[in-house]
Structure formats: structure tokens, C-alpha cells
């Protein structure tokens, strides 16, 4: 059995891009009989940028509700909040003490994030951003994970994890850690936003399928289109509405909409309404469950607490191996 571990960002409510690009593929992967998935909400990582506890808690609740609403099986797998398994921070310290500073300085993501914030001398560039790779490494090594699905931007961090795990194993002449493998999806789905760029909260071009119908319709109707008159034929392959519709519809539905575009007398407003209808239909059950969990937080938290107990059951023996090898047990 392969043990798969994935960290889930808690920087906001999940949008359609998150669902299609990460959540649904993760859930599909977890359904494979020979796989066991550990999915955690990275609420400690989020402290590097989100300092308001109320905002962070709202984000964590929304992320958890979305994963459960979309069908993640918490009986077969393990779903938990990173911060509720405190062993991860202790392990991160041990890893920091074996990871060369010179190698950490090579981290691409730290350079990118610090540059975006105004440079390394800017006070908003905190030490947490710099030490992020070792907390990520602790997340992985604490659960004896075999496979870690990562995007290309996180591949270097996985290499850091492998490096420090091998270094500690070698130093103590003991197989303390399982050495994880990266699972890199070269065909990771890029979901277009309402303006045609990649859907992102930072671009404010996202669609939140868990919104009530009226505000969801407003987002769908904001999708940017060209000015081709209603009566004229339109090119579906250059249209943001059609691109989003194609990611959600089946082959028959896609073919029918393509025919309408090319036949004329079919406006972008018609296409947007069809897209809205498809979203409401496709995510009807998930929308209902999401609202249920967000309105019944004790039940949501109970599901997370059950996962956290399972996670600690794996984490504690692994951490005890480290403590014993280093003389802390």
C-alpha cells in the first residue's frame, strides 16, 4: 500500500480552480484501493501571511467543508489540521538542525515570495517563509509517506526533504525515516479565470461554486468575452465561457454548445446561463453538503478531530524514533 500525503492551503475559500486542479484529483487518487491518503490543512504554514486568527479559522472551516462536501472518504483516509498534531513542530526543529543553511538559501520559492513582498530586507518577509521547507519536510516525514504529489514549484522542497531525511538516517546509521518520492503531474489542469488568466484569488478572477445562486450568477456573468454581435457565429476556442464549460461538461454537451456558437443567433449571455446551470447541477449535492458543514461546525470539527487522533497515532512512534536516536527520549 502506498501512503500518499498532501498539504492543502488554507488561504481562503476553495474556488473552481482549486476544485478542478487539486481537490478532485486528490480525492480521485485517494479512492484507489491500494492507496492510503493523509490530507492535511496547512494552517501553520498560513501563519506566514495570515495573522488574523478569525480569518484563518474561517478559511480552515471552508477548506474542510469543501473537501468533505466533494466526497473525501475520512474513514479510509486521514484528514486533519496541521496545527493539531503538535509533533510536526518538534520534528521541524530537529530537521532545521541538520539542514545546511547554504542549501536553504537556494530555495526558489523563498526568493520568489520575498521579491513579491519587497525584497529580503522588507519586514514582512518573516523567518517562517525561510524555514517553510523544513516544516513541509516534517509534514511528510512524520507520517512515513511514500508518495507526495507536488507541482513543479514544490519539487525543490521535496528534494530538500529527501536530502535531510537521508542525512539523518546516515548520521545515526539507522533507517529512521522513509524516503519519499515525488509524484509530479505534468498535465496539471490550468483553469481559466473570468478574465482568461489562470484562476486565482490574487487576480480576483475566480468563481466560488459554493456561493448562493445570486452571487454565483454575478461571478459567472462577469466572465470577459469579445464584442461579436449576437447574430454572428462565434469561435468557441477563443472564448473563456466555452473553456470553462468544457472543463465541466460531457462530450455531448460540449459538442452541442460548439454547434450553437458556430451557428449564430447565440449570445454570450446564453452561454453564461448554460454554464451557470451546469455548475448548479454538477455541484448541487456538494453545495448542499458544504452549507450543512458550515452551519454545523461542531460536526465538521468532530470529523477533523477523528483524523487528528489517527494522525497522532502514526506521528508519535515516528517522532519517538527520532527522539531516541538523538537522545531526547
List, as one string, the DSSP characters of 236-269: GGG-HHHHHHHHHS-HHHHHHHHHHHHHSS--HH
d(CA 108, CA 154): 9
101 CA to centre of own chain: 28
Both 186 and 307 in one domain: the answer is yes
Half-sphere exposure of 58 (CA within 13 A, CB side): 8
In a domain? residue 287: no
Cα–Cα separations (whole angstroms), residue 146 to 99, 257, 302: 21, 43, 28
* Sequential DSSP letters for 280-295: HHHTHHHHHHHHHHHH
Q: What are residue 80's DSSP bridge partners?
A: 40
Q: Give the CA radius of gyration of the chain.
A: 22
- Model confidence at 119: pLDDT above 70: no
Both 49 and 23 in one domain: the answer is yes
In a domain? residue 292: no
Q: Which of 121-130, 136-145, 184-193, 266-275 has the lowest mean pLDDT?
A: 184-193
Residues annotated as part of the active site: 113, 198, 201
Report the domain count for the chain. 2
Both 140 and 257 in one domain: the answer is no
Both 175 and 301 in one domain: the answer is yes
User: Which CATH number characterizes residue 246's domain?
Assistant: 1.10.240.10
Grid coordinates of 318: 515516528
Both 173 and 250 in one domain: the answer is no
Average pLDDT, stretch 193-197? 96
Over residues 3-27, the pLDDT tens digits come to: 999 999 888 899 999 999 889 988 9
In a domain? residue 26: yes
Cα–Cα separations (whole angstroms), residue 308 to 54, 74, 168, 177, 230: 21, 11, 26, 21, 55
Q: Which domain does 168 fall in, by range? A: 2-191+297-326
Both 108 and 244 in one domain: the answer is no
Q: Which of 20-34, 213-227, 306-320 has the lowest mean pLDDT?
A: 20-34
- Model confidence at 148: pLDDT above 70: yes
In a domain? residue 288: no
Average pLDDT, stretch 316-322? 98
Over residues 34-85, the pLDDT tens digits come to: 889 999 999 999 999 899 999 999 999 999 999 999 999 999 999 999 999 9
| Residues contacting residue 306 through CB under 8 Å, at least 6 positions apart | 74
Please provide the average confidence, as pLDDT, over all residues in the chain: 93
Q: Which helix (H) or strand (E) holds 311?
A: helix 297-326
Both 273 and 124 in one domain: the answer is no
User: Which CATH number characterizes residue 91's domain?
Assistant: 3.40.50.620
Q: Supply the pLDDT for residue 110.
A: 75
Both 141 and 28 in one domain: the answer is yes
Both 75 and 123 in one domain: the answer is yes
The length of the chain in residues reads 329
Both 270 and 306 in one domain: the answer is no
Whether the CB-CB separation of 91 and 141 falls below 8 Å is answered with yes
Confidence of residue 118 (pLDDT cuts 50, 70, 90): low
3-state SS, residue 184? strand
d(CA 296, CA 108): 41
Both 8 and 156 in one domain: the answer is yes
In a domain? residue 208: no
Both 146 and 229 in one domain: the answer is no
In a domain? residue 207: no
In a domain? residue 202: no
In a domain? residue 147: yes
- Model confidence at 202: pLDDT above 90: no
- Model confidence at 187: pLDDT above 60: no
Amino acid at each position: 500500500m502506498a501512503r500518499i500525503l498532501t498539504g492543502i492551503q488554507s488561504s481562503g475559500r476553495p474556488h473552481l480552480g482549486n476544485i478542478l486542479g487539486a481537490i478532485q484529483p486528490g480525492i480521485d487518487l485517494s479512492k484507489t484501493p491500494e492507496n492510503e491518503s493523509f490530507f492535511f490543512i496547512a494552517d501553520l504554514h498560513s501563519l506566514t501571511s495570515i495573522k488574523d486568527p478569525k480569518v484563518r479559522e474561517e478559511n480552515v472551516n471552508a477548506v474542510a467543508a469543501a473537501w468533505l462536501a466533494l466526497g473525501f472518504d475520512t474513514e479510509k483516509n486521514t484528514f486533519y489540521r496541521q496545527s493539531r498534531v503538535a509533533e510536526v513542530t518538534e520534528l521541524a526543529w530537529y530537521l532545521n538542525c541538520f539542514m545546511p543553511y547554504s542549501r536553504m538559501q537556494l530555495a526558489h520559492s523563498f526568493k520568489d515570495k520575498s521579491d513579491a513582498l519587497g525584497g529580503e530586507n522588507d519586514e514582512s518577509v518573516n523567518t517562517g517563509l525561510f524555514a517553510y521547507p523544513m516544516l513541509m519536510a516534517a509534514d511528510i516525514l512524520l507520517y512515513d509517506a511514500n508518495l507526495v504529489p507536488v507541482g513543479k514549484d514544490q519539487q525543490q522542497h521535496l528534494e530538500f526533504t529527501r536530502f535531510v531525511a537521508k542525512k539523518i538516517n546516515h548520521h545515526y546509521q539507522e533507517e529512521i525515516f522513509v524516503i519519499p518520492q515525488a509524484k509530479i503531474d505534468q498535465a496539471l489542469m490550468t483553469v481559466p479565470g473570468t478574465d482568461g488568466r489562470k484562476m486565482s484569488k490574487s487576480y480576483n478572477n475566480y468563481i466560488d461554486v459554493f456561493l448562493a445562486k445570486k452571487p454565483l450568477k454575478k461571478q459567472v456573468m462577469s466572465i470577459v468575452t469579445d464584442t461579436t454581435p449576437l447574430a454572428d457565429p462565434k469561435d468557441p476556442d477563443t472564448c473563456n465561457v466555452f473553456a470553462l464549460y468544457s472543463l465541466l461538461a460531457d462530450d455531448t454537451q460540449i459538442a452541442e454548445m460548439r454547434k450553437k456558437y458556430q451557428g449564430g443567433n447565440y449570445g454570450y449571455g446564453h452561454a453564461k446561463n448554460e454554464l451557470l446551470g451546469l455548475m448548479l447541477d454538477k455541484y448541487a449535492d456538494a453545495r448542499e453538503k458544504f452549507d450543512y458543514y458550515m452551519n454545523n461546525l461542531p460536526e465538521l470539527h468532530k470529523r477533523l478531530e477523528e483524523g487528528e487522533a489517527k494522525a497522532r497515532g502514526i506521528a508519535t512512534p515516528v517522532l519517538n524514533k527520532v527522539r531516541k536516536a538523538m537522545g531526547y527520549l
